[in-house]
Amino acid sequence: MTLIEEAIVEAFGERCPETAEGCACCEVWAEYDSLTASEAAREKLEATAIEDYYARQIKWSRETFGPALRTNGVLDHIRKELKEIEADPHDLSEWVDVIILAMDGFWRHGGSAADLMPRLLAKQQKNMARTWPDWRTMSEDQAIEHDRSGETLATLNTSEAHHG
């Protein structure tokens, strides 16, 4: 039960077995259902919107730059964009350029428009489950790495083999 649901139960009680017109409890639960259904619909629309955007981007990129892997070309372009970010980190369009280029590399190496969001969510979940040092004790000018003490040597070797 969510905190909102708990608050509704505390203030109005459990759902009525049958909806009754004029019942404050039924009206609150109906409004809650409407809002949560809208939230789920909004999330689905957002996921569809990014998938539609990405499918268009893939089509344009394939037609404009060809279907090859272009690994070194994409990496070269990312390095150039990173230099532009270093020169002006507040230029958000340069950050977007890096995102677009990373997405270009993603599809060129086997990803798809439908695959991006699930992989982003899985990676987010993995990162959130990791142990991280207290950011207040870390330099702002260096990467903050997660705690790798629980990883086995085999895991590290496999990771190095894929990411070299």
Residue 23 pLDDT class (50, 70, 90 cuts):
very high
Does residue 155 register a pLDDT over 60?
no
Query: Looking at residues 24-43, what average pLDDT do you find?
Result: 82
Residue 73 pLDDT class (50, 70, 90 cuts):
very high
Q: Where are the alpha helices (DSSP H) in 66-112?
A: 71-87, 92-108
The more confident residue out of 43 and 129 is: 129
pTM equals 0.65
DSSP symbols for 103-130? HHHHHHTT--HHHHHHHHHHHHHHHHHS
Query: Looking at residues 63-76, what average pLDDT do you find?
Result: 98
Does residue 5 register a pLDDT over 90?
no
Percent of the chain with pLDDT over 90: 62
Question: What burial class does residue 125 get, using C-beta atoms within 10 Å of its C-beta: 0-12 exposed, 13-18 middle, 19+ buried?
Answer: exposed
Residue 8 pLDDT class (50, 70, 90 cuts):
confident
